[in-house]
Amino acid sequence: MMRTVLCVGMIVAAAFSASAGQKTGYNLALGVCDWTIGKTGDPAAFDLAARLLLDGVQVSLVSNGDTLALADPELRRTFLQASREARIPIASFAIGELNDVPLKSDPRAEKWLAKGIEIAAAMEVKVILVPFFGKGELRNDPAGIDAVVAALKRLAPKAETRGVVLALESYLSAADHVKILERVGSPAVKIYYDVGNSQDAGYPILDEIRALGSRIIEVHAKDTKGLYGKGSMDFPAVRKALEGIGYKGWFVLEGTEMPLGVEASVRYDAEYLRAVFGIRQ
């Protein structure tokens, strides 16, 4: 594995050193989803992220019956200690189970989100990713969107008070996302933008980023066709679009293609992004 990782680093450096040298640094931090590295809801994700030379972890808020596991203060202390020891912060939270327990139709989802807001505030995490895939799909579902808007209106005041942002991620277009945000009318509800999802849905990524602008609170880096720079995602153009809207937050790796194995593939993707975005390690 070590030999593979060294080779990966040499390949990336050779391929991108010239272009990186011509770029100015960009104020982004590179995180990784805990599920991407096989550590869903596991504090061991911090140590692994440190070994992979990343800057942070998007942590899954996993369920525990009718509540969330991190509602337990002792478990929260365990996560925070692991974060401190690895010197890897929590970039954001995510409740992936909402894809099977949809906010639009299952009362548990709203309860989990309400508890997630409390957990995030207690752990000083500012963003919770709220996904709408699988059973939670919102395309061609106006009744589902109405139900989600109603739930978000109930949750938003609590999020505002606690200084937490609920970040919506779905296959909806930028225009449809803006309509939801306008209906909810709260600064505590924004968009979690995923470049790979938009590409798969057939949306013009650069136009979508510009249309959403400051409504984007956090971004997933993704290429569903291969390693970054070897697939279909034009990350240099993504950089230009993100700089154009003044985005300076987390760029969180959510890999779907891991041909070198998880660790070597994540290292490759991270090194590629650092080169393209001019991000110092």
Give the chain's domains with CATH numbers. Answer: 26-277 (3.20.20.150)
The pLDDT assigned to 280 comes to 76
The pLDDT assigned to 25 comes to 56
Q: Which residues contact 209 (CB under 8 A, 6 or more apart)?
A: 193, 216, 238, 241, 242, 244, 245
If one counts every other C-beta atom within 10 angstroms of the C-beta of residue 123, the result is: 16
The pLDDT assigned to 255 comes to 85
Cα–Cα nearest to 151, from 134, 133, 132: 132
Dihedral of the alpha carbons of 269, 281, 41, 199, in degrees to the nearest 10: -40
If the chain, 281 residues long, is cut into consecutive pieces of 10 residues, what is the mean pLDDT of each piece?
Answer: 37 37 64 98 98 97 96 98 98 98 98 98 98 98 98 98 98 98 98 96 96 98 95 96 96 92 97 92 70
> CB of 199 within 8 A of CB of 235?
no
Phi and psi, residue 256, nearest 5°: -120, -20
